[in-house]
Amino acid sequence: MAFTSQSLIFRAPASVPGARLAAPSASRVSLRGRGASFTSVAAASTSMANMDGDEKETKLWGGRFEEGVTDAVERFTESISYDWQLYKYDIMGSKAHASMLASQGLITAGDKDIILEGLDQIERLIQEDKFEWRKDREDVHMNIEAALIERVGEPAKKLHTARSRNDQIVTDLRLWCRDAIDKILIHIKQLQVSLVMLASKYVDLIVPGYTHLQRAQPVLLPHLLLSYVEQLERDAGRLVNCRERVNFCPLGACALAGTGLPIDRFQTAKDLKFTAPMKNSIDAVSDRDFVLEFLAANSIAAVHLSRIGEEWVLWASEEFGFLTPSDKVSTGSSIMPQKKNPDPMELVRGKSARVVGDLMTVLTLCKGLPQAYNRDLQEDKEPLFDSVKAILGMLEVCTEFAQNISFNSKRIQSSLPAGYLDATTLADYLVKKGVPFRTSHEIVGRSVALCVSKNCQLAELQLDDLKAVHPVFEADVYEYLGVENAVNKFISYGSTGSNQVKKQLEDWRIQLGISS
């Protein structure tokens, strides 16, 4: 399935002309409606008065109720304005449930066929933007079930046998998360491929390596780019582990206690490609730890991406001048004609804030809830959807940026002599001569101080100057000075030595399936 990030999140009625998202009390719902859907009490009272003329539909759970809810409560508690996005999974779950009910003799095969056909029709209507989402029907489950009853009558009333919205929503959500994780994993791999391709273009380019943002040691650019690839691989690993825990089936846990009807939870779990049914029905409907884990994995990935964003924005500045993004991934200023800003990477850095915020929202949400379903849990969806949308966008834009930047080799090369990048290599030289490292560090430190006073580089010091600092220096010292020499001296596993980096690059090309 070829989802784009847009289609996974927003494939959708509401953003398309002709879509109908209707309710007696509100004409249209905002998609991320915090605030927007929450009018002041005074305004709400006024609009309620206007609405009293409408005759409200009795809720599907209305048996013991004598009065309907107020409009303000209805607006405040509805979730259809965002949970309609789960329709595909809700229908998938209902079909598996109906098939199981029929296998178990709880409904007839005829009823099952009618239900499946009705659900197919509804799914098509939704995809063609012809389905009317009603706020007074609260949520995606009730909207679909009520529409099914309208279309096919009695058999549809049997669909909710041995099922509750409590297990239904968490089944929908686990199915949604599973697809979302798969989608993110693809995007992560695409970014990794782009970074490896970029690294392959600059196999020999030496750049300054920084610690504390001070020049530290020379490194090969591919070594730096592959460090991001490593981080992304761990991000993917966290999502894969999360997916394993997501992929258990709560369906059949019903409200909280299971059911006395002879259902087969293993059949529905298998149908929906879950690993197994969840073992404890109270746990199944109570918990959202899989959402928390997913949002935490996204947050860590987002922090990683924010670091690429920071680095590339920095490198694109006049002062660094190490990279140039192409026009395709840059934007201009409304007032300053000369500007070409790396906005996409700034927004990658910036959007990490909302991904972290989404995690905070759901951690706060779940804190201190007693066991089994609480309505609070409805608030898990918008942050979840938002986090996934943000992370998909961030990965996509990083990938495009990586495909559309060039490193300014000349500028980088000409800047390399500054900053004593070869000092640590010089200390290693002294170690090889038998000087203890702490003493070597001290000697090279004094050599650097000499350079500072003479305003020159280490390689520019005369052998006599060096010998004056310490007699151990010999003529072969110049093989260790200068960034090219310095880089060539690295040999340790995982280091910036060119053989090491070539090996890493080759390993990643194989692992990611990039043909040479």
Active site residue 212: yes
Binds its own copies (CB under 8 A): choice among 4, 317, 333, 364 = 364
Binds its own copies (CB under 8 A): choice among 428, 465, 478, 509 = 428
Q: Does 384 bind its own copies (CB under 8 A)?
A: no
Binds its own copies (CB under 8 A): choice among 18, 35, 260, 513 = 260
Length of the chain: 516
Q: Which is nearer to its own copies, 261 or 418 (CB)?
A: 261
Letter string b/e over residues 462-496, b meaning 16 or more CB atoms within 10 A of that residue's CB: eeeebeebbebbeeebeebbbbebbbbbbeeeebb
Q: What is the DSSP string of 402-425?
A: HHTEEE-HHHHHHHTTTT-TTHHH
The set of residues, in sequence order, having a beta carbon less than 8 Å from that of 497 and lying 6+ positions away, is 487, 488, 489, 490, 491
Q: What is the CB neighbour count within 10 angstroms for residue 366?
A: 19
Residues near its own copies (CB under 8 A), total? 130
Write out the binding residues for its own copies, residues 97-116 only, by CB under 8 A.
106
Q: Does 258 bind its own copies (CB under 8 A)?
A: yes
Q: Does 363 bind its own copies (CB under 8 A)?
A: yes
Write out the binding residues for its own copies, residues 227-246 only, by CB under 8 A.
227-228, 230-231, 234-235, 237-238, 241, 245
Q: Could you give the CA distance from residue 344 to residue 332 in angstroms, rounded to a whole number?
A: 12
Binds its own copies (CB under 8 A): choice among 35, 53, 337, 368 = 368
Write out the binding residues for its own copies, residues 278-317 only, by CB under 8 A.
278-287, 289, 292-293, 296-297, 299-300, 303-304, 306-307, 309-311, 314
Q: Could you give the CA distance from residue 112 to residue 114 in angstroms, rounded to a whole number?
A: 5
Write out the binding residues for its own copies, residues 430-459 only, by CB under 8 A.
431-432, 436-439, 441-446, 448-449, 452
Write out the binding residues for its own copies, residues 386-415 only, by CB under 8 A.
none
Please give the backbone phi and psi of residue 218, each rounded to the nearest 5 degrees, phi first.
-75, 140
Q: Could you give the CA distance from residue 20 to residue 23 in angstroms, rounded to a whole number?
A: 10
Q: Which is nearer to its own copies, 408 or 447 (CB)?
A: 447
The DSSP H or E segment spanning 481 is none
Type of residue found at 405: I
- The catalytic position among 212, 492, 515, 516 is 212
Token pair for 272: 């929906």
Strands 206-211 and 214-220: antiparallel
Token pair for 178: 């599973």
Q: Could you give the CA distance from residue 506 to residue 515 in angstroms, rounded to a whole number?
A: 10
With vertex at residue 245, the alpha carbon angle to CA 239 and CA 246, rounded to the nearest 5 degrees, is: 80
Q: Could you give the CA distance from residue 298 to residue 395 in angstroms, rounded to a whole number?
A: 11
Q: What is the CB neighbour count within 10 angstroms for residue 24?
A: 16
Q: Could you give the CA distance from residue 136 to residue 11 in angstroms, rounded to a whole number?
A: 23
Write out the binding residues for its own copies, residues 333-362 only, by CB under 8 A.
349, 352-353, 356, 359-360
What 3-state class would DSSP assign to 341?
strand
Nearest approach in angstroms of CB 458 to its own copies is 12
Nearest approach in angstroms of CB 3 to its own copies is 26
Binding string, residues 153-192; x marks residues near its own copies by CB under 8 A: -xxxxxxxxx---x--------------------------
Binding string, residues 55-74; x marks residues near its own copies by CB under 8 A: -----xxxxxxx--------
Active site residue 160: no
- The catalytic position among 7, 15, 326, 333 is 333
Q: Which is nearer to its own copies, 43 or 360 (CB)?
A: 360
Q: Does 499 bind its own copies (CB under 8 A)?
A: no
Nearest approach in angstroms of CB 87 to its own copies is 20
Binds its own copies (CB under 8 A): choice among 197, 369, 512, 514 = 369
Catalytic residues: 212, 333
